[in-house]
């Protein structure tokens, strides 16, 4: 596989990673998609999807975690040809964004930290 690298700062990525629901129809190279999945499978189990979203952002790709299959049981599994012992937990569309990445508004981290005691 060709070496794909990014020089983006991890904190810049986290501060500008937002759900990108509008994606261009341009195909994303397979090797780049494999790189995203590789990042996800090297993450601790729970945040694998979030790591994939951050990795997509690092490469300038838009992505969003969706759960449409929860509203249509078995429909997506059948459409994708998944065996009955496989559970589809989310779908993550990935592509080149139509919009731009930008700052994400969040609380000041100091307002969420308690030192030694709750709200101390």
Confidence of residue 13 (pLDDT cuts 50, 70, 90): confident
Q: What is the pLDDT of residue 31?
A: 95
Question: Does 1 have pLDDT greater than 60?
Answer: no
Q: What is the pLDDT of residue 98?
A: 94
DSSP H/E element including 11: helix 10-16
8 vs 107, residue with greater confidence: 107
Domain 10-96: top CATH class: alpha beta
Question: Does 56 have pLDDT greater than 90?
Answer: yes
Question: Does 88 have pLDDT greater than 70?
Answer: yes
CA distance 111 to 77: 42
95 vs 3, 53, 58, CA distance in Å?
Answer: 20, 11, 13
75 vs 21, 49, 70, 71, 89, CA distance in Å?
Answer: 22, 22, 9, 9, 13
Question: Does 48 have pLDDT greater than 70?
Answer: yes
């Amino acid at each position: 596989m060709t070496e794909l690298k990014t020089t983006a700062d991890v904190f810049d990525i986290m501060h500008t990673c937002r759900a990108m629901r509008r994606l261009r129809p341009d195909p994303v190279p397979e090797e780049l998609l494999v790189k995203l999945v590789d990042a996800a499978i090297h993450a601790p189990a729970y945040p694998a999807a979030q790591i994939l979203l951050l990795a997509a952002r690092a490469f300038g790709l838009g992505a969003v975690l969706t759960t449409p299959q929860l509203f249509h049981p078995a429909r997506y599994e059948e459409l994708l040809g998944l065996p009955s012992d496989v559970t589809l937990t989310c779908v993550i569309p990935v592509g080149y964004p139509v919009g731009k990445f930008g700052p994400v508004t969040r609380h000041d981290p100091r307002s969420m930290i308690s030192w030694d005691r709750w709200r101390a």
